[in-house]
């Protein structure tokens, strides 16, 4: 069997715009390509023409998974100075190509108990993962692909996003004493947030946060009656611990939950470098697919950037790494 051109496959995937919500074309292209290679491909509808792909030979005990959607803006592939550039080069179309390359290697050796799961919507809402978890096949292990510099992830932080709502009273700006500025209340809460003691983990480190959105006021000459901010916490333990720490803010603002994703600890294997990562993955939403591992070529520091790329040698090496991880896990089934 001719070895798969993993870079060529990655470039074909990258060149198809699959910004979250518009994954239909890349899913169709990849499903047809995989069928031509002799794989069984089941398409699971998620929304409109968006589908997850479940790829098998026989009943899989180990499944490699990643996502087909990307953040905007799309830009096409190019290869330069030993690096593959393009949206999705490391997050996560290069990873998808490497996993397919690993499956090809395993099939060539006679191993048919490994499958693939490619989901949509990871970058916004994890809708594909939620849908896939309803049809899990009974696999023992899930190797989730995200850019980890070809290291096994020992743990990932979770996410807690909430909205701070400040309420005031409108008044003419020439008589501010007649009103209550919601913006000033919000600013006071955000300043107080800086000094709060947030949870810490010996594995994942300190809880961090970003004030990512602020909105407020209705007109330049009106004391603002409302204001809001969204804050994104990267959590290292139960969400309730963060909520308890934020309780002092409730004298100034109302706290409204937006999103919660728990931190995760994952299996590791001898012979692989390990690390902990501050980002989240689809793993919490694929709990029915088996014990999770996290691995992939590329750096998360390059993901979502205008310079997104992966080293070609790292991408090619990931094929063998994925194959080795899967083969090792099969000995434990």
Query: Tell me, what DSSP letter sits at residue 70?
Result: B
Report the side by side order of strands in the sheet with 114-119: 40-47, 50-56, 114-119, 62-67, 141-144, 291-294
Looking at the structure, give the CATH architecture of the domain made up of residues 158-261: 2-Layer Sandwich (3.30)
Residue indicated by tokens 């983990």: 201
Contact 189, 249 (CB under 8 A): yes
Q: Take residue 221 and report the two structure tokens written for it.
A: 């000459």
The rounded average pLDDT for each run of 10 residues, N- to C-terminus, in the chain (333 residues) is 87 98 98 98 96 98 98 98 98 98 98 98 95 97 98 96 97 97 98 97 95 97 98 96 98 96 94 95 97 98 97 98 98 96
Instruction: Return the pLDDT at 2.
Output: 60
Q: Which of 121, 88, 89 is nearest to 22 (CA)?
A: 121
Instruction: Return the pLDDT at 1.
Output: 47
CATH class of 6-156+263-330: alpha beta
Q: How many whole angstroms separate alpha carbon 180 and alpha carbon 168?
A: 5
Instruction: Return the pLDDT at 34.
Output: 98
Sequence ranges of the domains in the chain:
6-156+263-330, 158-261
Q: How many whole angstroms separate alpha carbon 203 and alpha carbon 325?
A: 23
The active-site residue, picked from 79, 80, 104, 122, is 122
Exposed, middle or buried: residue 307 (CB in 10 Å: 0-12, 13-18, 19+)? exposed
- 79 tagged catalytic: no
């Amino acid at each position: 069997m001719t070895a798969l051109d993993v870079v060529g496959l990655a470039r074909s995937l990258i060149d198809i715009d699959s910004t979250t919500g518009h994954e239909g074309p890349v899913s169709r292209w990849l499903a047809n390509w995989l069928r031509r290679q002799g794989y069984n491909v089941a398409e699971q509808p998620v929304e409109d023409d968006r589908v997850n792909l479940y790829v098998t030979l026989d009943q899989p005990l180990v499944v490699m998974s990643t996502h087909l959607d990307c953040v905007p803006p799309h830009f096409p592939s190019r290869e330069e100075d030993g690096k593959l550039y393009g949206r999705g080069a490391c997050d996560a179309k290069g990873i998808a190509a490497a996993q397919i390359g690993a499956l090809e290697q395993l099939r060539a050796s006679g191993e048919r108990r490994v499958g693939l799961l490619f989901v949509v919507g990871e970058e916004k809402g994890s809708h594909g993962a939620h849908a896939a978890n309803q049809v899990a096949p009974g696999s023992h292990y899930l190797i989730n692909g995200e850019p980890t510099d070809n290291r096994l992830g020992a743990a990932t932080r979770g996410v807690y996003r909430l909205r701070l709502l400040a309420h005031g009273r409108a008044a003419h700006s020439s008589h501010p004493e007649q009103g209550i500025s919601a913006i000033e209340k919000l600013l006071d809460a955000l300043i107080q947030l800086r000094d709060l003691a947030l949870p810490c983990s010996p594995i994942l480190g300190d809880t961090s946060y970003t004030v990512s959105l602020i909105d407020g006021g209705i007109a330049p000459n009106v004391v603002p009656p409302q204001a809001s901010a969204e804050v994104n916490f990267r959590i290292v333990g139960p969400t309730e611990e963060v909520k308890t720490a934020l309780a002092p803010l409730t004298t100034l603002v109302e706290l409204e939950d937006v999103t919660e994703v728990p931190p995760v600890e994952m299996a590791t294997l001898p012979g692989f470098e390990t690390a902990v990562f501050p980002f989240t993955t689809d793993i919490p939403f694929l709990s029915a697919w088996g014990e999770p591992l996290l691995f992939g070529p590329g750096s998360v520091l390059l993901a979502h950037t205008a310079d997104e790329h992966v080293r070609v040698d790292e991408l090619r090496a990931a094929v063998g790494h994925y194959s080795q991880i899967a083969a090792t896990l099969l000995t434990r089934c």
